[in-house]
Amino acid sequence: MNDISDGAIMTALGRQMTVSVARQLVAAGNLANVDTPGYRTREVSFGEALDRELQLPLATTAPAHLGGPAAAGPVDREAVGLPGRRDGNNVQLDRELLNMSRANGDFAAAQAALGAKFRLIRYAINEGR
């Protein structure tokens, strides 16, 4: 028996598109700062975005540890482990272009799946005409 509803599929595809756009924006920001002295590369943390989307219950040791408003979308953070240049900048052009290409591919795949879903709905409404 299939427990996955159409709404759940469309919501998941929408989330994938949102995360892909966030990854593209962060990569574009990194590329814009490729020559800025002291700029540190940012990245979207997939694990943090997934946990936030799934709203996993977290254990706390004090009530104030997880206080404050929740963010509406994926979270970007400083990338770790990247070698820096003499000016303190650690943006790598090839890495950022690859990240943009991957995000573009993920977005296009979700968009194609949503398009197919809407074509099925249109077909059902028109009763196959």
Residue 51 pLDDT grade (very low, low, confident, very high; cuts 50, 70, 90): low
The answer to whether the beta carbons of residues 44 and 25 sit under 8 Å apart is: no
- Return phi, psi of residue 77, to 5°: -145, 170
pLDDT of residue 48: 62
- Return phi, psi of residue 80, to 5°: -110, 155
Angle (deg, nearest 10), helices 6-32 and 46-54:
150
Residue 70 pLDDT grade (very low, low, confident, very high; cuts 50, 70, 90): very low
- Comparison of pLDDT for 74 and 15, the residue scoring more: 15
Once rounded to an integer, what is the mean pLDDT over residues 19-48?
A: 91
H-run or E-run covering 42: strand 42-44
pLDDT of residue 38: 94
Neighbours of 45 (CB within 10 A): 14
Question: Can you give the pTM of this predicted structure?
Answer: 0.73
